[in-house]
Amino acid sequence: MTLFHESGLDDILPDALIINGEQHHLYGDAAYMIRPWLQAAFCGLLTPEQEACDETMKVRRAVVEWGFKDVKQACSILDFPRKMKVREGPVGQLYRMGVLVWNLRCCAYGGATATFFKCQPPTLKEYLGIAPEEGDGGVDGGAAAFGGVIHA
């Protein structure tokens, strides 16, 4: 929730998710406050329609959770509870760095989530907002920005 609030998305999403006059929404964890543009699973005594909706979204939610698992596996310090204590270290900064590293990896090599949803991740240049430099030869994936170390 902290990262969501800090991102400012709650101010942007209401207008950004109205497409052709129809309100679209994001599907989030139950920890998020429900809004017309941010929905979560139904809970309590459910109607058959609500149960069917929750069942449909269950697989998609699990796929998104893969990303959190992948970040922890790529940056194992994030999965070390004794070191990840709020107010005893830069937990938020470390997690943001882990997500950045994981996102860069996904841009360069793809990932299971993108494969599942049948969408291509952005190139490294697109993700980082790097404009092509003169004479870089149009290297895909932003490898030139990293001295050619990362190869897509």
Band of residue 142 on the pLDDT scale cut at 50, 70, 90:
very low
| 58-74 tens-digit pLDDT | 888 887 788 888 888 88
Same domain, 85 and 105: yes
Same domain, 18 and 72: no
Which residues are registered as beta bridge partners of 27? 39
| 14-72 tens-digit pLDDT | 899 899 999 888 887 777 778 888 888 888 899 999 999 889 888 888 877 888 888 88
In a domain, 152, yes or no: no
Same domain, 90 and 129: yes
Same domain, 73 and 27: no
Q: Which of 111, 138, 140, 100 is nearest to 123 (CA)?
A: 140
- DSSP SS3 for 38: strand
Same domain, 23 and 78: no
Total structural domains in the chain?
2
Task: Domain of residue 15: give its range.
Answer: 1-40
Say how far apart CA 144 and CA 37 lie, in whole Å.
Answer: 39
Enumerate residues 6+ apart whose C-beta is below 8 A from 83. Answer: 77, 89
At 17, give phi and psi (nearest 5°).
-100, 15
Same domain, 128 and 57: yes
